[in-house]
Amino acid sequence: MTEYNSVVEDQKNLLEAEEWAKKFKCIHVFNQDTLSSMWYDNRKNDGWVTDVQYNSGLVERTIHKTNKKVYFGKALQGQELIEYFHRR
């Protein structure tokens, strides 16, 4: 049965990393028309916005005027997520 220990440990690490990835790293509320210094930003005229950066690397922007959501970047997954989780 010990041959499965590494498989079980890998799955445990993945589940922990996936749970951590869902949590937010920071929240930033600002007027995008006057402040456009966000490193991920490629939209310049959204007005008042709320940007939520998740531990996975994904950034979700809510545009207050329209309540529309826009996403920047991509969420890390699998082994890449596990490695990033353990570095943090």
Place of tokens 């570095």: 87
Digit-coded pLDDT (tens) for 9-45: 889 999 999 999 999 999 999 998 777 667 888 888 8
Name the nearest CA neighbour of 61 among 72, 51, 48: 51
Q: How far is Cα 23 from Cα 70, in angstroms, rounded to an integer?
A: 18
Q: What is the mean pLDDT of the chain?
A: 90
> What is the average pLDDT across 43-48?
86
pLDDT of amino acid 86: 87
Q: Where are the domains of the chain?
A: 2-36+45-87
